[in-house]
Amino acid sequence: MIYKKIRPLLPFLLISFLFLTIFRLNSYSQNPSLIVKDQLLNAQKQSLKDSIRSRTGLDYPFIIGYNYIPLTNNSNHPYFIENKWLNGSLVYKGLIYPVDRIKYDTEIDKLIYLMYDKNNTINCIALDENFILEFKISNYTFRYYKDLKNESGKILKAGYYQVVYDGKMKFLVRNEKLKSLNEYRTSTDSYLLKNGIAITVRNVGKLISELKDKESELKKYVWDNSLKINESDYTSASKILKFYESL
């Protein structure tokens, strides 16, 4: 009986219900409560953080290490060459990544990377050498070596060695800065890596003696080009080895 009485009114009631529902939804979307606003804002922030974390993982997968506090002294510091953030590249899992804002701390033997995240937060990280087996800073290449043996069979210190020449043979330089009485003292050792043995080479004469099958040609080449090896310039060693391997 009641159903028969209200049946004619059903279309009107249905339209009224839909109208009120749409009006309330529209009002809600235009004027959300403070609680809803906070929830939306927090969700957006979390989404941004997740996006940054994901982007960092894709663009900077090599960031594995620990927090590092850089030194600001420009005259007394442990860094390779100078205390400046330089451009370069690094090798991580067989892939080369161009990087900027890097330093090489030769005291602790770590590559230091300065990273800015999307919030302009600065993170200075000492990268793990177990993952960064090679890097280039400015025009200098460094490669991580371990289990290198010298002529006496002694195992050399594991770490990054500057690769001056990278052919069938290698010419490597070990750069270190040691702190003594609050001053950093530079120490360098240079090696010819031949048949898996790291042979100490401090001058041109020693290098030629290790390449004596072409001794006469090398002596003439060195004389004609006035080549010499010292702790501040190893380009002569690279030239000699390149010439030797071209013979």
**62-98 residue pLDDT tens:** 999 999 999 999 999 999 999 999 999 999 999 999 9
Tens digits of residue pLDDT in 153-181? 999 999 999 999 999 999 999 999 999 88
Would the pLDDT of 225 be above 60? yes
Structure confidence at residue 233 as a pLDDT band (50, 70, 90): confident
Q: Which strand ranges, in their side-by-side order, compose the sheet holding 197-200?
A: 65-67, 122-127, 110-116, 95-105, 86-92, 132-137, 140-145, 159-166, 170-180, 183-194, 197-200
Q: Which range scores top for mean pLDDT: 36-40, 68-72, 108-112, 185-189?
A: 108-112
pTM above threshold 0.85: no
Would the pLDDT of 54 be above 80? no
